[in-house]
Amino acid sequence: MKPKNQRLVLLSAALLAVLVAVLLAMWGLRDRASYFFTPADIAAGKASEGQPMRLGGMVQQGSITHDPDGVTVRFVVTDGKATTPVSFRGIVPDLFREGTGAVAEGRLERGTFVADTILAKHDERYMPPELGNLAAEHKVGKTLKK
Amino acid sequence: MIAEVGLAALWLAAGLAAFQSLLMILALRSDVEVAKPMRVVAMLQGVLTLTAFAMLVIVFARSDMSVALVVANSNSAKPFIYKIAGAWGNHEGSMLMWVTILAVSGAAVAWFSRRTSERTLLAALGSQAMLALGFYAFLLIASNPFARLFPAPADGQGLNPLLQDPGLAFHPPTLYLGYVGLSVAFSLAVGALLTGEVDSRLARAMRPWVLAAWVLLTLGITAGSYWAYYELGWGGYWFWDPVENASLMPWLAATALLHSINVLAARGALKAWTMMLAVIAFSMSMVGTFLVRSGILTSVHAFAIDPERGTFLLALLAIYVGAAFVLFALRGATLKEGAPFELVSRETGLVINNLILSVILGIVFLGTLHPLFVEAVTGEKLSVGAPYFNAVAGPLALVLAVLVGVGPLLSWRRERRPVLAQLKIAALLGVAALAITIILARDIAILPRLGFGVAAFLATASILPLVGRNPFRAPLATWGMVFAHLGVAVALAGMAANSAFTSERLDVARPGETLKVGPWLIQLEDVTPTAGKNWTAVEAQLRASRGGGPIILKPQTRYFADPVMETNEAAIDTFWNGQLYTVIGKADPSGGWQLRLWWKPFVTLIWAGGVLIALGGALALVGRLWRLRQRRGASAEWRKERYA
């Protein structure tokens, strides 16, 4: 191959790589990104059943109950406007308690949010990202703490 | 006083960096003899930042509560080693460490580098100084680590207990050395683009720096993965968390660079390509730093709460990456392409390696930044996790792993021998492994199944470059390559085994009861309170057996007071064929305790593979440095004879 052609081939290969990466990413992101919903969104019917998503809000006071199997916990998440029941099988994270913020990853099954993971407030300086926004917009954090 | 010395040293270093940048312009504009002062200034600057960093460590070691950073991130009751590590377990301290490594790398280039032409070296030192200058400004204006607090409080607020772990002492410094070590490749590329001297000589000078940074990055990522595995208590080794991706992206770019630089060094080809990769690798380090340090990952809104830092870092990123790309666009086209090669050749193999690594890098990059784009444009919030990365990047990584077995067998320029014939045994073993998993384990997923086959193939194929020759006369760099490629196979086997054969059990047990997980019977003997220097804990005593003598595991939940927090301390026991991983959860009203148990066959191979890869890099580095030394010695002798 002549040096000039070689450079042309290499340049096209590099551009092709960029194109392939972008196309693959677009294809992958179409149905694999999980969107964030609040109980109000779910009440408004924005979330469809079975699709992976994140649910965020405050754990309602007095709502945490334990199933007899000892490892399933049920609670209600609220954003001040609506509530969503959540069930979770696993060890709840450190400092998961009523009246604090939590984000759950999972899916909706017949109106109940079945969580695979729960991310709770990690320490006093950490706020789940989506909730930081929520608290700022709706002052939910403050009203619920009172 | 100590804090003031540190701050003064930092200001002086910034002044020297500015001076060094001016010297570079002088050096490029005219023939003024600035080489000597330039080297001295670069070394001085390194010493000064090192001084500043040492002062910060001393302030932390003494728990000097008049320094705001110590108050916010330390506590006098902390064990001594974590007081030291606390110096870089926070935003300001870690940025100071970042700049320190940047300046010390610059000093090291000034000290050691003799292989590049003087002009390129000066331009590279200038580029390094300009990089440092921006980050000095960031520290001094937006993130001063030495700020005083008046009146000084009685005690500090402590360090996040998750970070109170031996892993913290070594993980960030290793990772940062790798991250920022790539700045040398960036600066050498910028320097060579400025002077137009992109040749195999430059590649040979750049290669040891890239190798060293890459080895440390590999070790840092491996250590970080193991840290997350045992400290978070979730049993996973990689979460595709944006912070993890921030370290993976420079690694992918550096891996590509490491391979293409060999083409430039050996054949003088892929000039523009290699320079591009050198620029991209360190740009990815800066993107990673921006992602982690601006707070934008926690939230686009956290970024807005502290706009100064985020905007500052983003501006630095835009200036440096933008300038490097403009320089590349102006000069890249004028580079003469080096020696030609044919379609079937080592060069083509390495180009394909580079293309696949670049596509994977693009996929990780777009997936990591996608939530930011979407939120900035539509305000919608979303997250991108394992399902995307595994499904999109996983198959590509497997294809790459297959080709890793083929590439090293090809010869430079053109390959006329039937290379595939050499791979018969390896391919046979790969297919055999695949067949065994199909017969013995019917219901495992497709990716781990293929993983076993590819791992068996690659493990065999990676050794072939040593077969048919006296292995002890093979260069160290070849040994390094064999080790690194074998490491890929080993890590792949570990990942496949972990996802195919892990058994998990989550249940409540009362003292005396027994749970079964995998081949293990695990009895909860007792749960007792215990305490450490700054924590209290509940500790379970588990007796585990699988036929032979029983072993005892003691997982804990720890409660910290400063700051208030709970952490899970998993108890892990390692065997030749896997790890038993146990976590104690919450108490049950009926008097039982939640237990989460995993039996993870061959999971340790993941990190063993990572260490092998790094070891391979280290061998290659030693080999290359040895050769450089020999050559220098030989040419010095030759000169002596000639001019005697």
- Residues of chain B contacting residue A4, judged by C-beta atoms under 8 Å apart: 337
Closest chain A residue to the Cα of B594, Cα to Cα: A71
For residue B457, being part of any structural domain is answered with no
Minimal Cβ distance to A90: which of B380, B506, B508: B506
How far does the CA of residue B626 sit from the closest CA of chain A (Å)? 33
State whether B231 and B357 are in the same domain.
Answer: yes
How far lies B104's CA from each of B130, B285, B468, in Å? 14, 17, 44
- Residues of chain A contacting residue B273, judged by C-beta atoms under 8 Å apart: 10, 14
State whether B201 and B331 are in the same domain.
Answer: yes
- Mean local confidence (pLDDT), A41-51: 83
For residue B204, being part of any structural domain is answered with yes
- 3-class secondary-structure state, position B61: helix
State whether B112 and B187 are in the same domain.
Answer: no
State whether B43 and B106 are in the same domain.
Answer: yes
How far does the CA of residue B104 sit from the closest CA of chain A (Å)? 33
Which ranges of chain B have pLDDT less than 70? 31-32, 158-164, 167-168, 295, 297-307, 337, 562-563, 633-644
Closest chain A residue to the Cα of B386, Cα to Cα: A32
Q: What is the pLDDT of residue B72?
A: 80
State whether B240 and B316 are in the same domain.
Answer: yes
- Residues of chain A contacting residue B358, judged by C-beta atoms under 8 Å apart: 14, 17-18, 21
The residue among B259, B260, B282, B255 whose CA lies nearest residue B273 is: B260
How far does the CA of residue A19 sit from the closest CA of chain B (Å)? 9
Q: What is the pLDDT of residue B242?
A: 83
Number of CB pairs, chain A paired with chain B, less than 8 A apart: 151
For B584, the domain range is 503-601
State whether B215 and B188 are in the same domain.
Answer: yes
Closest chain B residue to the Cα of A20, Cα to Cα: B359
How far does the CA of residue B145 sit from the closest CA of chain A (Å)? 19
- Mean local confidence (pLDDT), A125-137: 44
How far does the CA of residue B215 sit from the closest CA of chain A (Å)? 26
Question: Measured between CB atoms, does B563 come within 8 Å of chain A?
Answer: yes
Residue B388 and residue A69: Cβ atoms within 8 Å? no
Q: 300-329 in B: which are within 8 Å (CB) of A?
A: 301-302
Residue B392 and residue A27: Cβ atoms within 8 Å? yes
- Cβ neighbourhood burial of A11 (10 Å; 0-12, 13-18, 19+): middle
Residue B340 and residue A1: Cβ atoms within 8 Å? yes
Predicted confidence (pLDDT) at residue A10 exceeds the cutoff of 90: no
For residue B219, being part of any structural domain is answered with yes
Q: What is the pLDDT of residue A85?
A: 93
- Residues of chain B contacting residue A16, judged by C-beta atoms under 8 Å apart: 355
Closest chain B residue to the Cα of A6, Cα to Cα: B340
For residue B625, being part of any structural domain is answered with no
Which residues are bridge partners to B597 per DSSP?
A: B505, B582
Q: What is the pLDDT of residue A145?
A: 33
Mind listing the pLDDT tens digit for each residue in A73-89? 899 998 888 889 999 98
Closest chain A residue to the Cα of B359, Cα to Cα: A21
How far does the CA of residue B367 sit from the closest CA of chain A (Å)? 7
| Single-letter residue type at B521 | L
- Cβ neighbourhood burial of B512 (10 Å; 0-12, 13-18, 19+): exposed
Q: Which residue has the tokens 């990047």?
A: B393
The residue among B245, B251, B175 whose CA lies nearest residue B613 is: B251
Residue A33 and residue B355: Cβ atoms within 8 Å? no
Mind listing the pLDDT tens digit for each residue in A87-130? 998 888 766 778 878 888 888 988 899 998 887 654 344 444 44
CB neighbours of B550 closer than 8 A, spacing ≥ 6? Answer: B543, B544
The residue among B369, B452, B463 whose CA lies nearest residue B423 is: B463
The residue among B639, B432, B598 whose CA lies nearest residue B505 is: B598
For residue B435, being part of any structural domain is answered with no
State whether B121 and B64 are in the same domain.
Answer: yes
DSSP per-residue codes, B337-349: P-S---SSSHHHH
Element (H, E) at B182: helix B166-195
Question: Measured between CB atoms, does A54 come within 8 Å of chain B?
Answer: yes
Residue B384 and residue A52: Cβ atoms within 8 Å? no
Residue A123 and residue B563: Cβ atoms within 8 Å? yes
State whether B285 and B383 are in the same domain.
Answer: yes
> Are the beta carbons of B224 and B247 closer than 8 angstroms?
yes
For residue B335, give the DSSP letter: S
> Are the beta carbons of A99 and A145 closer than 8 angstroms?
yes
Q: Whole-model pTM?
A: 0.90
Take residue B362 and report the two structure tokens written for it.
Answer: 């693009």
Instruction: Classify the C-alpha dihedral B459-B462-B464-B466 as positive or negative.
Output: negative
For residue B35, being part of any structural domain is answered with yes
State whether B181 and B160 are in the same domain.
Answer: no
State whether B117 and B211 are in the same domain.
Answer: no
Residue B337 and residue A7: Cβ atoms within 8 Å? yes
For residue B488, being part of any structural domain is answered with no
Question: Measured between CB atoms, does B566 come within 8 Å of chain A?
Answer: yes
Q: What is the pLDDT of residue B611?
A: 96
How far does the CA of residue B590 sit from the closest CA of chain A (Å)? 9
For residue B472, being part of any structural domain is answered with no
How far lies B87's CA from each of A65, B170, B326, in Å? 42, 12, 37
How far does the CA of residue B66 sit from the closest CA of chain A (Å)? 21
State whether B241 and B349 are in the same domain.
Answer: yes
Number of domains in chain B: 3
Residue B384 and residue A29: Cβ atoms within 8 Å? yes
State whether B160 and B62 are in the same domain.
Answer: yes
How far lies B125's CA from each of A7, B105, B588, in Å? 30, 10, 63
Question: Measured between CB atoms, does B362 come within 8 Å of chain A?
Answer: yes
